[in-house]
Structure 1
Amino acid sequence: MSTVFHRHPRYAVLVFAILAGTVWLLFADSHGPILQSGSRDLSLSARVSRAENIYQKILKGRKGLIGKFGPTPEKITMFPPDVSPWPPYTVWDFFPPAFNCPHERERIGTLGDGGKWVCGLSRVEDKKNCVVYSFGINGESSFEAEILNRTNHCEIWGYDFSVNSFGPEIPASEKHRTHFHPYGLAGNDNHGPENKVKYYTLQSLMDLNDHKFIDILKIDVESWEFEVLAAFVEPYLQSDRPLPFGQLQIELHTWDKEFPELLKWWEKLEQGGLRPFFQEPNMVYNNYNRGRHQDLTEYSFINIRGRNAFVSDD
Structure 2
Amino acid sequence: MLEWPGKPTLMMIRADDPRRMPIRLRQQLIDEGFNDRAIARRVRDGMWARPRRGAYVDGPAWRALDDVQKHAVVARAVLLTARTDVVLSHASALGEYGAPTWNIDLSMVHVTRLDGRAGRKEAGVRQHAGSLRADDWEVRGGVPVTSATRLALDMTTLVDVETSLVIVNHLLHQKLTDPARLERTRAFMDAWPNTLHTDLVLRLADGRIESVGESRCFHLCWRYGLPRPEPQYKIRDANGRVVARVDFAWPDLGVFLEFDGMVKYRKLLRDGETASDVVVREKLREELICRLTGWRCIRLVWADLLSPEITAARIREQLYPMPLAS
Q: Same fold (TM over 0.5)?
A: no
Q: TM-score with structure 2 length normalisation?
A: 0.25
Q: Which has the higher helix share?
A: 2
